[in-house]
């Protein structure tokens, strides 16, 4: 059975490639999704990829993931710094939850430095650019113990 991963993207990420390319780069969200789809095939992952500018829709998607997905990867974007609702929804989900940020939020201005949603995440990946999504997919499959045998042993990770 394929590993089921839901990737969620918050507000304004639909403007990646246009919005502040000096911070977020020139890669579009559609290009990130296409890369994730390619990696999903290698990892035997069934991928569900979403973007919304509406906080309540993200909460609803997280709730839908309960019982139907094995892991969540989320770039909450601006909601990282404000959303108690996302924290509460993430606490409902039992599987691994990876928070991804394209920029290194720890090197940003005070407003963009402290993610509150990370308190409900298994791990946080930031500053790797769009590759952070791929790193999160690898980490999710490894954490679930479902790395395909065809993947080189070095990518299987280490036991905790």
The H or E element containing residue 87 is: helix 84-92
**Residue bearing tokens 């990867």:** 73
Active site residue 131: no
The CA-based angle 5-88-12, given to 5 degrees, is: 65
CA neighbor of 16 nearest in space, from 134, 101, 108: 101
Q: Is 133 a catalytic residue?
A: no
Q: Which of 22, 24, 112, 156 is catalytic?
A: 24
On whether the CB atoms of residues 123 and 98 are closer than 8 A, the answer is yes
The strands making up 45-51's β-sheet, listed across from edge to edge, are 45-51, 3-9, 71-75, 97-101, 123-126
- Structural contact between residues 61 and 97, judged by C-beta atoms closer than 8 angstroms: no
CB-CB contact of 52 with 10 (8 Å): yes
Catalytic residue among 22, 66, 101, 133: 101
Token pair for 151: 């993947």
The residues annotated with a catalytic role in the active site are: 24, 101
């Amino acid at each position: 059975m394929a590993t089921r991963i839901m990737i969620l993207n918050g507000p304004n990420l639909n403007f990646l490639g246009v919005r502040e390319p000096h911070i977020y780069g020139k890669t579009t969200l559609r290009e990130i999704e296409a890369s994730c789809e390619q990696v999903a095939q290698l990892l035997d992952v069934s991928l569900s990829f979403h973007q919304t500018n509406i906080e309540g829709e993200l909460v609803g998607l997280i709730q839908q993931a309960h019982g139907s997905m094995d892991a969540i990867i989320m770039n909450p974007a601006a909601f990282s710094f404000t959303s108690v609702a996302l924290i509460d929804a993430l606490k409902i989900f039992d599987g691994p939850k990876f928070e991804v940020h394209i920029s290194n939020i720890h090197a940003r201005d005070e407003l963009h430095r402290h993610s509150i949603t990370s308190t409900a995440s298994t791990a946080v990946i930031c500053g790797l650019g769009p590759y952070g999504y791929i790193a999160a997919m690898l980490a999710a499959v490894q954490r679930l113990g479902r790395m395909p045998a065809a993947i080189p042993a070095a990518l299987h990770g280490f036991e905790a």
